[in-house]
Amino acid sequence: MRSLRGILAVSGHLAGRRAPANNAHLALFSRALQILAQQEPVRLQKLSAPDSGVVEMRLERPEARNAIGREMLQGLRSAIEKVKADATANVVLLASSVPKVFCAGADLKERRLMSPCEVREFVNSLRSTFLSFEALSIPTIAIVEGAAFGGGLELALSCDLRICGENATFSLPETGLAIIPGAGGTQRLPRIVGKSRAKELIFTGRRFDAVEAVTMGKKNHYDMYVFIAGVVNYCVPAGEAYKRALELAQEINQKGPLAIRMAKKAINQGMEVDLSAGLAVEEECYEQVLHTQDRLEGLAAFAEKRKPVYTGK
């Protein structure tokens, strides 16, 4: 956000440079105050004890239903970098402060004014930003109340877990605009719900509700339905998604932080290779926790029948 000093310097309202009080300068001064009153599109907040270690990342662009434009994208990148640099962060909750919407997708009004080259650059940046979010070493939980469309759903898919309220709706509508999901949707969705179902949802661009999002299943080789966690892990009554997500974050936050980081690394990297190579990844990650103070604390707490106090060392 621009500083008041920087804005007022333009209008000549700094001390010692007082400009004539005409309508143009008063209008500029009024605009400066409006700019300062605007919220940042992405807000980061660390929770206090007993939830120290839990970080909230909130989307706050109500006038555009959290549509992702250049400013929102920059806010996401900045927030991700701050989380990466914070050694005390253990879990990220990604939520919206805008009622009835998580994220409406790309800012199409802004997109219309871009050249093809600018669109390519923006989408590439969006894709890399979501990849950076997915690559965070700590667990991330998306909290979806209301609409998660296009890039908004792709952002949620880049999280480790997704919790939604029963009023949530989802879609990847890009083919209806003669484009394709370009921020990871064609890659993450089939990895989560299976290739055939992902093709259906992307080819048709249809909306689906919270119940379908959580109960999407796929057939195994015995021709029986096995219901897996679909697009979301849990569906709860409308308005209660944050509560459920915080409960999960609290559970995770009580575990050994290094173990959680290594577990995430082992799962993510292991899923991209065959079983033999995946087991080698697991071995490497286990080695990282074998000689830690936290492992010894866990054993001591078990023997003494008390809750462990982990320090991340």
The residues annotated as belonging to the active site are 106, 151, 154, 174
Q: Specify the residue for token string 């179902």.
A: 197
Entry field: residues in the chain = 313
Environment class of residue 194 by beta-carbon count within 10 Å: exposed (0-12), middle (13-18) or buried (19+)? Answer: middle
Strand 101-103 versus strand 147-149 pairing type: parallel
Cα gap 146→105, rounded to integer Å: 13
Give the CA dihedral 260, 266, 271, 275, nearest 10 degrees: -140
Q: Could you give the angle at which helices 4-11 and 23-37 cross, rounded to 10 degrees?
A: 170
Cα gap 276→170, rounded to integer Å: 36
